Amino acid sequence: MSYKTIASIANDLATKKVSSVEITKYYLERIKKFDKDLNSFITVNEDAALSSAKAADALIASGKAHPLTGVPIAQKDIFCTKGIKTSCGSKMLDNFVSPYNASTIDNYNAAGVVMLGKTNMDEFAMGSSNETSFYGPCKNPWDTQTVPGGSSGGSSAAVAADLAPAATGTDTGGSIRQPAAFTGICGLKPTYGRVSRYGMIAFASSLDQGGIFARSAKDTAMLLNVMAGFDEKDSTSVNVEVPDYTANLNDSLKGKKIGLPKEFFNQHLDNSMAAAIQDAIKEFEKLGASVHEISLPHSDLSVPAYYVIAPAECSSNLARFDGVRYGHRCENPKDLVDLYERSRAEGFGEEVKRRIMVGTYALSAGYYDAYYLKAQKVRGLIRDDYKKAFEDVDIIMGPTTPSTAFKIGEKAADPISMYLSDIYTISVNLAGLPGISIPAGFVNNMPIGLQMISPYFKESLLLNFAHQYQTATDWHTKTPEGF
């Protein structure tokens, strides 16, 4: 399969080799052809896509286009889109059409980027396999018996199968980086506060961050230029200038220090995975960087702390889905309590209910100090671990996941084993740091991801490292057969 990059499409549009309508139709055709089986999209609105493609073509013709005007991408179905269904992968919002756009959707619209459709995801972004979606599991194009990861599984599968040249995602505990690793593409989770959360349906507000799936570091940088930025509608967004993320891609890595946390190469990691990651790190040594062992001593506490904080916040964030104003409402409620109980029992799936229950418990009188407060203290320790580590190194690397993509159904009945698939990504959310996963080889013909973590707001550095690696290697150009 040959694929197109954002950079090449942008170039073809600018030089009028292709029109936005043509390239949009190309992807819509591919979606029609391949997505019945893959199930990476929840909603494809051809008319809306083509009408924005037409508008983009007019803008290009008028000479007033942004570098990405007319480029089509897919949006995770967690971002509210005015006039087009936003389901968040849930029966609860199967009938929900937002009256407003998420701020990031506005950003993409303002740049003239075309939306192909809304991608499949774990329900309310709770899951690591896309199996909790009300719309059914999405498949991994590298092996359709396996999961594409989650929660942004639809976005990762769509980009891996070239049903879209890029897509957005959200990452609360690894929901961009883990699916990117499982499907052999790039996935960037920016610094908490770099990308607006307004209109991005909340799972765990202090951890959620929107980001990008693309083929290459360069494509990711081009999209981040559009997606990132301060938003006065989001009090947690940070007013830091948005640099041109493509500007430092070609910087030399000579003299840069890479830290390898010994805790990331532990008993959870497959041996063949460990070897592949070590190979990838050798490439960076060839590029002039030096490698140092470091320690993040509280790493083993990140999963337990996360599974207190994230459910606690979700139990409160999801209280608004009560059947009163929008979303699913049960038939013929006999009174108020019945309305609440049945609407929520029918509208939410099992994993969402599990987390609401856990979170409600963790915040309850008598348990708050033992669970929520303690988890927040652990979060502080994890943040300090990273802070200390970055006094000695420029960037931290390790595997994105402990293994390659698992089989559909394999972990669905075992939540703890599912939760552990995010063991290397979760601490990055707890610390609020930026992280990226890039393709770094294969184990048993399945792609693996190298995770890189930088200090706050140093996305440019992550993209610089990623681009240099992709200049020296070709893992990111590999595509699954049959698409």
Partner 1 sequence: MEWEVVIGLEVHAQLKTKSKIFSGASTQYGAEPNTQACAIDLGFPGVLPVLNKEVVDMAIRLGLGIDAKIAANSVFARKNYFYPDLPKGYQISQFELPIVGVGHLDIMLEDGTPKRIGITRAHLEEDAGKSLHEDFLDSTGIDLNRAGTPLLEIVSEPDMRSAKEAVAYLKVLHSLVRYLGICDGNMQEGSFRCDANVSVRKKGAEKFGTRTETKNLNSFRYIEKAINYEVERQIGVIESGGTITQETRLYNPDKNETRPMRSKEEANDYRYFPDPDLLNLVVTAEQIEKVRKSCLNYHNKNYNVSWKSMA
Any contact of residue 254 with partner 1 (CB under 8 A)? no
Pick the binder of partner 1 from 47, 62, 99, 286 (CB under 8 A): 99
Does residue number 96 form part of the binding site for partner 1 (CB under 8 A)?
yes
20 is catalytic: no
Binding mask 220-239 for partner 1 (x = CB under 8 A): ------------xxxxx---
Smallest CA-to-CA distance from 400 within 183, 238, 200 is with: 183
Q: Is 252 a catalytic residue?
A: no
Strand ranges inside 131-231, DSSP E: 166-171, 186-189, 209-214
Q: Is 109 in the site for partner 1 (CB under 8 A)?
A: no
Which of the following is catalytic: 76, 189, 256, 458? Answer: 76
Binding mask 181-210 for partner 1 (x = CB under 8 A): ----------------xxxxxx-xxx----
Tokens of 298: 């509280």
Dihedral angle, C-alpha 211, 217, 218, 222, nearest 10 °: 10
Which residue stretch of 142-150, 161-169, 312-320, 470-478 sits at the interface with partner 1 (rule: CB under 8 A)? 312-320
Our finding on whether 292 is near partner 1 (CB under 8 A) is no
343 binds partner 1 (CB under 8 A): no
As measured in angstroms, the least distance from the Cβ of 309 to partner 1 is 9
Give the whole-angstrom CA distance, residue 144 versus residue 378.
Answer: 38
Binding mask 24-43 for partner 1 (x = CB under 8 A): --------------------
Site map for partner 1, 445-474, x if CB under 8 A?
------------------------------
Q: d(Cα 76, Cα 118) in Å, to the nearest integer?
A: 5
Residue 161 CB, shortest distance to partner 1, in Å, is: 28
Map the footprint of partner 1 across residues 117-146, applying CB under 8 A: none
76 is a catalytic site residue: yes
Indicate whether 340 belongs to the interface with partner 1 (CB under 8 A). yes
Longest dimension (CA), the chain: 70
> Look-up: residue for tokens 């991801």?
449
Answer whether 464's CB lies under 8 Å from 253's CB: yes
Question: What b/e readout covers 265-282, taking b as 16+ CB neighbours within 10 angstroms?
Answer: beebbbeebbebbeebbe
Minimum gap (Å) between residue 127 Cβ and partner 1: 18
Q: Which member of 90, 129, 151, 343 is catalytic?
A: 151
**Considering the rule CB under 8 A, would residue 365 count as an interface residue with partner 1?**
yes
Q: Could you say which of 26, 230, 265, 326 contacts partner 1 (CB under 8 A)?
A: 326
**Shorter beta-carbon distance to partner 1: residue 169 or 399:** 169
Among 86, 129, 156, 451, binds partner 1 (CB under 8 A): 86
Give the full edge-to-edge strand order of the sheet including 435-443: 41-44, 114-119, 72-76, 166-171, 209-214, 186-189, 435-443, 446-453, 395-399, 257-261, 290-294
Q: Does 428 bind partner 1 (CB under 8 A)?
A: no
Which residues on adjacent β-strands are paired with residue 274? Answer: none
Q: Give the up-direction half-sphere exposure of residue 167: CA atoms within 13 A in the CB hemisphere.
A: 35
Q: Give the integer Cα–Cα distance in Å for 143 and 442.
A: 13
Q: Are the C-beta atoms of residues 90 and 77 closer than 8 Å to each other?
A: no
Tally of residues, the chain: 483
In the complex, the residues that contact partner 1 under the rule CB under 8 A are 79-80, 86, 88, 93, 96, 98-100, 102, 197-202, 204-206, 232-236, 312-313, 315-316, 318-322, 324-326, 336, 340, 360, 363-365, 368, 372
Q: Which residues are catalytic?
A: 76, 151, 175
